[in-house]
Structure 1
Amino acid sequence: MDQTISKLDEKMQFFQEMLIQMVNRVEEAIYQAQYAFRNHDVELAKKVITNDWFIDQLQEMVENDGVRLLVSETPYGHYMRHIIAGIKIVSSLERMGDHASHMAKMASSEEEAMFIPFVERISEMALLGATMTRKVVEAFIDVKAEKAIEVALLDDKMDAERDALNADLFALRPETEAEMERILNLFYLTKEMERYGDHVTTICRWIVYMDKGQRPKLNGPKKTE
């Protein structure tokens, strides 16, 4: 019996390491995406977009490994909760990687002066997303519901900044079609960053499930499942 548990623990460790690697890649992606967006680094933006493929591959690897563990190891108790949560978490991580890639696609070689303050503020939203990602992996490693709940609270800042940015963008008066297109792109990015925070909140809910066996609503009446 002890030997069976030991082998299962080894397999669970590998499963968790792949998941953590995926989180780390997502954190790197959002950090690099905001840097490329803020500093007009088109080459770095291309790298972020290309590297999104690796995040997608890690999602598939974690999901496949999780299914194998459920089928072949017949896990019980906290083992089963961890596998189920891991399979769900990678779905959110894949979407977070997409949001980082979308931000990178908005990087341009130059920016009109009227949009620079908005670029800065959206980049700060992305940096908040990177911080949330780092904190959520710490909560995941420790399997601490309390830490996860604290991370989810940071999403309130993301939501508030999105509302403020949208109001200021709406107040702009574009004079050309190009300016109107850029305003729409910036609206789109504020939504992308807000959704990024929602996905972190979803991960937090699954960490609470891993620890407590429950998935409470966190940080608002309606969050990403």
Structure 2
Amino acid sequence: MDTRSNFHQGLNELQAELLKMGTLVEEAIYQAVKSLAKMDVQLAEVIIEQDDKIDEMMLDIETRCLRLIALQQPMAGDLRVIGMAMKIVTDLERIADHAVDIAKTTIRLSGETLVKPLVDIPRMADMAKDMLRESLTAYVERNVARAEALAEKDDEIDKLYSDIFQEIIGLMGTDWSTNRQVTHLLMVARYLERVADHATNIGEWVIYMVTGKRKDLNL
């Protein structure tokens, strides 16, 4: 196998690992919000424990990237592909951290009855997961239009976050325990809003990878 074939095989393996990490991160967000909605402390603890695996995957992918750069000396276009992979895994790792934050909220609120059933927060989580999946699809397809479409989806999540914020503020009163709980729920909504921002970041990396030009999708 010649040097160029080795390089493309390395790129394909890198992409496969990145997508595997993305799948784990998406599942972590889903399970974290599920743990909160059901007040499932055991599930929350599993999510926290599995974060180490995601961190290890990030380090492995970064090592693969550096090895490809050092051994293959890629040209400018291929170098962007590798460099953007390193940027994307950083965003994925931060999304996983937010899943851990949500799981920790489940543990903090364990034993309490939620002031109201969770409706908008799971909806927001579904929207954020869809954005993450779309951003990674755009990466695989090298699809600029798909990446640019994330901007509108991010605006929808920002609007939903604003609605949740107003609702939660309306639930606050003089009861300390209620105020404490709804403040934690507001933080969960904020974590999910940040997940959407990271998905948008990935879209921006995709655009730069394909075109060599930077475009801000999170205005």
**Which category describes the TM-score, using the shorter chain as reference length?**
over 0.9
Partner of 2:136: 137
Contact 1:52 1:98 in 2 (8 A): yes
Q: Report the CA distance between 1:183 and its aligned residue.
A: 1.7
Q: Could you report, residue by residue, the CA deviation over 1:46-81 in whole angstroms, capped at 9, with x for unpaired residues?
A: 111111111111111111111121122110132111
2:170 paired with 1:171: yes
Distance (Å, rounded) in 2 between the aligned partners of 1:177 and 1:114: 13
Distance (Å, rounded) in 1 between the aligned partners of 2:204 and 2:102: 25
Partner of 2:31: 32
**Secondary structure of 2:86 counterpart:** helix
Distance (Å, rounded) in 2 between the aligned partners of 1:112 and 1:190: 18
Letter in 1 for 2:144: A
Q: Could you report, residue by residue, the CA deviation over 1:168-214 in whole angstroms, capped at 9, with x for unpaired residues?
A: 21122334322121121112112111111100000000011111111
Partner of 2:160: 161
**Secondary structure of 1:106 counterpart:** helix
Partner of 2:204: 205
Partner of 2:125: 126
Partner of 1:223: none
Letter in 2 for 1:83: I
| Aligned residue pairs, count | 217
Contact 2:172 2:182 in 1 (8 A): no
Partner of 2:82: 83
Q: Report the CA distance between 1:5 and its aligned residue.
A: 1.2
Aligned-pair identity (%): 30
- Uncovered stretches (5+) of structure 2, i.e. residues with no partner: none
- Uncovered stretches (5+) of structure 1, i.e. residues with no partner: 221-225
Tell me the TM-score normalized by structure 2. Answer: 0.93
**Secondary structure of 1:125 counterpart:** helix
Distance (Å, rounded) in 2 between the aligned partners of 1:109 and 1:181: 13
Give the 5 Å matches for 1:183-194: 183-194=182-193
Tell me the TM-score normalized by structure 1. Answer: 0.90
Partner of 2:54: 55
Distance (Å, rounded) in 2 between the aligned partners of 1:5 and 1:24: 29
Contact 1:32 1:44 in 2 (8 A): yes
Contact 1:33 1:101 in 2 (8 A): yes
Q: Could you report, residue by residue, the CA deviation over 1:83-102 in whole angstroms, capped at 9, with x for unpaired residues?
A: 00001111111100011111
Distance (Å, rounded) in 2 between the aligned partners of 1:56 and 1:114: 34
Distance (Å, rounded) in 2 between the aligned partners of 1:8 and 1:171: 57
Q: CA RMSD of the aligned region, Å?
A: 1.6
Q: Report the CA distance between 1:111 and its aligned residue.
A: 4.9
